[in-house]
Amino acid sequence: MRALLDTSVLIALLDANHIHHKLCTQWLAGTQGGWASCPITLNGCIRILSQPNYPNRLPMQTVVRGLQSAMAHQMHAFWPDEVDPLGPPGLNWDVLLRPAQITDAYLLALAVRKQACLVTLDQGIALDWVHGADSTHLKVLASSP
């Protein structure tokens, strides 16, 4: 199953000093189905890594080149944003509680649409945010205690 990497995972992969860099690189090295990105995850990664207040800030062009290099790998697929957030089956607006949940719910819905898995470091994503999502559609990477 292909994995849609969320912004937090992309950041950890590109930032060698990130606390979860090793966790994410080891997970990616062991995955078989390949990985995907989309405009939301790419733009988020560029925006965060190039912000002046990011601890290991990189110039925006450096981040773009790093992403372009990673995306050239044969295991990568680019997915356009093609889920209608207001249409079925999509997001379950009856259970979404905060605006901060919308992007994560959208990414999960994109993974469900593509019969893939959203891979994230965010432990706060709920499967019931998206109609039709089940445990195969979400992988939360967590460090060993």
Provide the percentage of residues in the chain whose pLDDT is more than 70. 98
Domain count, the chain: 1
63 assigned to some structural domain: yes
d(CA 98, CA 83): 20
Could you tell me if 43 and 34 are in contact, meaning their C-beta atoms sit under 8 angstroms apart?
no
- Give residue 142's pLDDT band: very low, low, confident or very high (50, 70, 90): confident
d(CA 87, CA 17): 40
- Give residue 79's pLDDT band: very low, low, confident or very high (50, 70, 90): very high
Residue 110 has pLDDT above 60, yes or no: yes
What CATH number did the domain enclosing 118 receive? Answer: 3.40.50.1010
| Range(s) of the domain holding residue 19 | 3-140
d(CA 41, CA 5): 7
145 assigned to some structural domain: no
Residue 39, SS3?
Answer: helix
42 assigned to some structural domain: yes
136 assigned to some structural domain: yes
